[in-house]
Chains A and B, each alone.
Chain A
Amino acid sequence: MKKRGVGIGLSFYGTGYGNGFPDVSNAEVQLMEDGKVAIFVGATEVGQGAKTALIQIGAETLQLDYKNIIFINEDTDMMPDSGTAAATRQTYNTGNAIKIACENFNEEIKKAAQKALGLNSTAGLIVKDGVVYLAMFPDKRISYKELSKIYKDDIIKAKGTFTAQTVKMDDETGQGAPYWPYTFNACMVLVEVDTNTGRVELLKSIFAQDVGRAVNPRLVEGQMDGGFAMGLGYTLFEDLNLDKGKMRNNRFSKYLIPTSMDMIDIENIIIEDPESTAPYGAKGIGEPTTIPVGPAILNAIYDATGVRVTHLPVTPENLMKAIRESEKSEAI
């Protein structure tokens, strides 16, 4: 018999290392010889889109076309330490470090322009599209390219460091402010359960994700789809089948992650609420997108079958076991 159910799941997620640990990101910005601007950070692109999102934050702060930014994040000899690409921290933490470094760079380049243009102050100087000019007299202007030629031996550069604020929790009471910022989401699913085979089929889902501000909405949607698929696999398919410390399912023919046919189109809704301490309000969302999926599916399975599954994964056999047990107890 096929039975349908609706379930929801909410979650919150504290980003960053947390618990008062020095969560430091560094960034360096430098004018290159061709007038382009290089950003050096130790923020790893693992596929989440850090490189693109961080370039966008840099471009925004530098008021520069993103194509004129050179982004170096691959070599420890060239880049400062920006912490790990984990804890959903790169957009917020390294994004802030880049923003600060770029703001500092804007001041440095204004100073350089002041000298080159023979002005008596940097006041009123504007940086825009690779040019520094005086707002009240726009003829006073100099391009980054020209500046790079003048300052060849005295490279224009700046640094930025950001340390996230968290408070270590008390050892006995756990009281403290362990993470900041928090990211929130809500997910709802409609599933269909076959009460003979225990197969759970996903039919429909809507997923609302707080992002602070979406630096690149399409990348955010990609994270939401991917997070959903991982949550789906975690809940319904993936089982290492551990036996006395040995993983029986240790390859892809046995450890089943969702295929394209197991996924469905998700209605992804991005909720924006810019966070004042974040770069342009943007918070990280990498990890949170996977969290509410399982709970929503579990609640939907209950709604469909009246059976509470308290042990993951809900493989067909595990679900059937739970269904049989609940039928037995009902019979008594």
Chain B
Amino acid sequence: MFIQLVINGINYKVDIDPNMRLIDLLRDKLGLVGTKEGCGEGECGACTVIMDGESVNSCMVMAFQADGSNITTIEGLEENGELHPIQKAYMEEGSVQCGFCIPGMIMSTKALLDKHPNPNREEIREGISGNLCRCTGYNKAINAAERAIEILKEGAKNEA
């Protein structure tokens, strides 16, 4: 069956198998392999993408359910070769280790900041609580979210 959806600003019309999940569509069919599969049961969040404005585990969405949706994956964050402030902050704050959870973690952070531009540390902890990480102990990811908030504010100020 065919579905139509927008991924990272690009319109796609793709033929899918009814048994396909959104993560299979992204990775196997469209080559968007930045979205990772860590558990297949919605626990680890490595497959997090933003779907119609909200973070979802792409292993917990059937591909056909994404028909008509607007989806952002990690590949869609860079704009004109410029990293997104959250990506920059993750690099600067040393929040990355093995990296496998990072795309999902960044997408959750983005979903959080899109909705709540000024969360405190505890709210950031809650915002990334669906993203398991075994390397970092999370604290530097929280530092990065705080740093990203600063960069975003500076950006908004400069624009104004």
Contact = CB atoms under 8 A, between A and B. Distances in A.
Contact between chain A and chain B defined by CB under 8 Å: yes
Contacts of A258: 137
Contacts of A252: 38-39, 41, 43-44, 132
Contacts, number: 77
22 contacts: A46-B98, A47-B97, A47-B99, A218-B140, A219-B94, A222-B94, A222-B97, A222-B137, A225-B140, A229-B136, A251-B39, A251-B41, A252-B39, A252-B43, A253-B43, A259-B129, A260-B125, A260-B131, A260-B142, A261-B126, A266-B137, A266-B139
Q: Is the interface on chain A under 10, 10 to 19, 20 to 34, or 35 or more residues?
A: 20 to 34
Contacts of A167: none
Interface string A47-76: 111000000000000000000000000000
B125 to A, nearest CB: 5
Contacts of A263: 125, 137-139
Q: Is the interface on chain B under 10, 10 to 19, 20 to 34, or 35 or more residues?
A: 20 to 34
A48 B38 CA distance: 19
Contacts of B43: 251-253
B51 to A, nearest CB: 21
Nearest to A225: B137
Contacts of B136: 222, 225-226, 229
Contacts of B39: 251-253
B107 interface: no
Interface string B117-159: 0000100011011011111111111100000000000000000
A261 B135 contact: no
A230 interface: yes
A185 to B, nearest CB: 15
A228 B94 contact: no
B139 A225 contact: yes
A46 B100 CA distance: 11
A265 B139 contact: yes
B97 A260 contact: no
Contacts of A46: 98
Interface string B20-44: 0000000000000000001101011
A49 B97 contact: yes
A261 B17 CA distance: 38
Contacts of B94: 218-219, 221-222
Contact of A221 (B129, B140, B141): B140
A47 B44 CA distance: 18
